[in-house]
Amino acid sequence: MAHTTFPSDIPRPEDDGACDHLTGLQFPSVSLPSTAGNSVDPSKLSSLTILFCYPRTGAPNETITDEWNSIPGARGCTPQACSFRDAADEFLTYGVSHIFGASTQDTPYQQEVRERVHLPYQLLSDEKLEMQEALNLPTFDWQGKKLIKRLTLAIEDGVIVRVWYPVFPPNESASEVLKWLRTKPERRNLSTREENETMRNLQHR
């Protein structure tokens, strides 16, 4: 089965309360390697940032096992990433200055998937688990590696203002964030000039 699709019968993850502590927290100062070739500290970014965490994306020729599919919330990382890709322009209209995906995979691995599925935003590597540990993000173990469970954070001027957890189905992740943005009282539409500048931020941060 292609990595951009997922079975309709995969188990739904339950809300175990593992992210209840995040809303209202100041994002810790953590510098994460980016697929743009630099490092990004989300706590230093102004305005509104959307950061979604995912367990791992499969390699191009990797066979997705039934064992992986049986883990609630594990399957669907590429469809989630593509949901933010397809909605990137709409995010701009609601004042989102930055979109990032993050996983514990290394940067070269992330660069491959970013190029392969044409993501207009950058991916951040938490390979050293610095962000995960600083925020106490929920994880699970897979083949000897610790992976972050799927979740999404809205960070405004360094403060976590909204958390989506669990995220299911993964291909509707961006749509759920957009629903919130449409009802957010202080949202604002960007001018064309601001949209162009923000798109450059998405691509080059």
Q: Are 50 and 153 in contact (CB under 8 A)?
A: yes
Q: What is the pLDDT of residue 73?
A: 87
**What pTM, to 2 d.p., does this model score?**
0.87
Hey, what domains does the chain have and what are their CATH numbers?
A: 32-204 (3.40.30.10)
Q: What is the pLDDT of residue 203?
A: 56
Q: What is the pLDDT of residue 202?
A: 55
Cβ count near 112 (within 10 Å): 15
Q: Which two tokens stand for residue 34?
A: 């980016």
pLDDT in tens, the chain (205 residues): 344 556 677 889 999 999 999 999 999 999 999 999 999 999 999 999 999 999 999 888 777 788 888 888 889 999 999 999 999 999 999 999 999 999 999 999 999 999 999 999 999 999 999 999 999 999 999 999 999 999 999 999 999 999 999 999 999 999 999 999 999 866 454 444 444 554 555 555 5
Alpha-carbon dihedral 195, 57, 53, 92, rounded to 10 degrees: 10
